[in-house]
Amino acid sequence: MADIACHYGIPSVLYWIQPATIFAIYHHYFHSYGGVIASHVCDPCFEVAVPGIPPLRIRELPSLLTITVPDDPYTSIFESLQEIFSFLDRQKSGAKPRVLINTFDELEADALADVSEVKLIAVGPVRAPELISSSRTRSGTWSGWTRGRRSRWCTCRSGAWR
């Protein structure tokens, strides 16, 4: 779908449900750190210094980045991630690709600022509807709760899309 929208000049935005730190780790893996991580995947104590994030040991990285066999059941998820970052790279011919991230600026300022090739827009924290008690909702429904939040968020973030 995103390729079709791009073909017709329709702007698109990726919604990333994980924290910005995870996005930054994947971004750096697919743009320069993949070889370093792959060459040390068997050394769980090896430290990787990814920009904008405190040094992490190989064992602390997302497990998708440490897959060592091609028939691993999670290989298809890794390949999907690879496609997502490849798509974002193809969008760089015009304006920066935009990604909505489930975080807030004060929590992950370094991770948000470090990925300069993509415009990361903090929109969180976003929680699943089942985690929100009905006493905090309008009319006791998820849509009732989000209706008020959405209009307030859009009003105060109107400059985020430029």
Each residue's pLDDT expressed in tens, for the chain with a length of 162 residues: 666 777 777 777 899 999 999 999 999 999 989 999 999 999 999 999 988 889 999 999 999 999 888 889 999 999 999 999 998 888 766 678 899 999 988 889 888 988 888 999 999 788 766 666 555 544 555 555 555 555 554 555 455 544
Query: Is residue 160 assigned to a domain?
Result: no
Query: Is residue 141 assigned to a domain?
Result: no
Q: Residue 42: which CATH number?
A: 3.40.50.2000
Q: What is the pLDDT of residue 125?
A: 80
Query: Is residue 158 assigned to a domain?
Result: no
> In which domain, by residue range, is 54 found?
2-126
Q: Residues of 90-126 as b/e, b for ≥16 C-beta within 10 angstroms?
A: ebeeeeebbbbbbbeeeebeebbebbeebbbbbbbee
Query: Is residue 134 assigned to a domain?
Result: no
- Domain total in the chain: 1
Query: Is residue 155 assigned to a domain?
Result: no
Whole-prediction pTM value? 0.74
Query: Is residue 90 assigned to a domain?
Result: yes
